Amino acid sequence: MNTVAEHLSNLIRIPSVSSISNRPIVDYAGQVLRQAQWQIREMIYRDAAGIEKVNLIAAPPGQDPYNAAVELALMCHTDTVPYSTDWRRALEPFVADGLLHGCGACDVKGFLACLLTSIGKASSSRTDGLRLILTADEEIGCVGAAHLLASKSIQPKRVVIGEPTSLRPARAGKGYCLAEIAVFGEEAHSAHPQKGKSAIYRAARFITAIEEYSSLLAEELHPLFSPGFTTLNIGTIQGGTAKNIVPGQCGFQLEWRPIPGQAVGAVPTAVSEIADALRGEDPGFRYDLHILREQTGFESASNSRLVRSVETLTGRTATSIPFGSEASLMATVAEEVIVFGPGDMQTAHSNRECVPLAELDEAVNCLQSLMKKD
Ligand SMILES: [Zn+2]
């Protein structure tokens, strides 16, 4: 039987960036699960490039993976972000100073290795319904998890999502939303600007008003976050076609991260009210808003059963996460969701990625306890 470090090293050696199929990782996990007599259900879809992606649902011996309603699901994505070509040892794991290095070491093959080690060791599993869920394409927008939810194949009461939190249970996370805004004007020769309407001037007034609105967002505070409010960013802008043409179009991207409890539609509604006000002074003002991502925040109560039991198991109080995860999606079907796992997200998505071996061992013990009861 492999140790957790052996499983993790094997998993790191299998490339699994989101652009390629996650089949080899799922096959590796499937083999370990089958050896432990777990029942497996694979759910295959093709991604936007036509590549096969696999979500896997596994049930312990005696339980049916086709039965959706369960007490607890332990969930983990199987893809990694791309790594830079000068990171020579991205797929060649090594240990130094008690840290195991490699691409995916903490995000999130470390947690997957802990799951695979736990199922080998757990002699008796809970009978009220336990599932292990592996998903594809988390790093490109939780696409695999969205497929899984759309298929209605899983309805867990409580969910643990594996992501690096240094083994602190995270019971809340901000959402993630992104929209593209196009502002329209009328082109004219720049020698006769009064013949046209500058889309860039219009966008400038629009953006200034959105910036003022963002300071109002800062008045609604959530104590678990720093900063404790919904943040908003206009990260890109482009407009116009030439220096001597009054610009006919200007577009920008608006990103916001809503605190839990705030409706995802709050920002688009405010933007629409700002546009109405601008139209009062400029009747020809016209814009398009196209939502690209719309993910709510999530929050499990501080006294919920899952939060309490992982706090007790780890001796660490619950916190929040500043990054996006599948928790937002799972919170739409589950009563309680936490994010939890070995390693620190501050090393993830970089060539410094690593995970402490001691945290892997601690996570295995914790997951084994959860597999028995919470
Ligand atoms: Zn991750």
- Could you report the per-residue pLDDT of 118-164, keeping only the tens digit for each? 997 655 567 779 999 999 999 998 999 999 999 999 999 999 999 99
Paired residues of 308 in beta bridges? none
Q: How confident is the model at residue 374 (pLDDT cuts 50, 70, 90)?
A: low
Calculate the average pLDDT of the chain. 95
86 flagged as catalytic: no
For 320, list phi and psi in degrees, rounded to 5.
Answer: -125, 165
Say which of 47, 79, 163, 187 is annotated catalytic.
Answer: 79
pLDDT surpasses 60 at 8 = yes
Dist CA 102 CA 20 (whole Å): 18
pLDDT of residue 128: 76
Q: Tell me the CA distances in angstroms from 50 to 39, 228, 332, one per residue in order.
A: 28, 40, 28
Distance 359 CA to ligand 1 centre (A): 17
Span 30-45, pLDDT tens digits: 999 999 999 999 999 9
Distance 235 CA to ligand 1 centre (A): 23
The amino acid occupying position 363 is: A
Say which of 137, 138, 299, 326 is annotated catalytic.
Answer: 138
CA count, 13 A, side-chain hemisphere, 116:
31
Distance 200 CA to ligand 1 centre (A): 38
Say what angle helices 266-281 and 199-217 make with each other, to 10 degrees.
130
pLDDT surpasses 90 at 263 = no
Q: How confident is the model at residue 92 (pLDDT cuts 50, 70, 90)?
A: very high
CB-CB neighbours of 169 under 10 Å: 24
Span 155-214, pLDDT tens digits: 999 999 999 999 999 999 999 999 999 999 999 999 999 999 999 999 999 999 999 999
282 flagged as catalytic: no
Distance 99 CA to ligand 1 centre (A): 18
Distance 247 CA to ligand 1 centre (A): 41
Q: Which residue shows structure tokens 């050696």?
A: 13
Span 62-90, pLDDT tens digits: 899 999 999 999 999 999 999 988 999 99
Distance 366 CA to ligand 1 centre (A): 19
Dist CA 199 CA 250 (whole Å): 6
Distance 343 CA to ligand 1 centre (A): 11
Question: Whole-model pTM?
Answer: 0.88
Mean pLDDT of 251-265: 93
pLDDT of residue 334: 97
pLDDT surpasses 70 at 289 = yes
pLDDT of residue 124: 55
Q: How confident is the model at residue 324 (pLDDT cuts 50, 70, 90)?
A: confident
Distance 77 CA to ligand 1 centre (A): 7
Distance 351 CA to ligand 1 centre (A): 15
Mean pLDDT of 343-351: 93
Asked if 47 and 29 touch (Cβ cutoff 8 Å), the reply is no
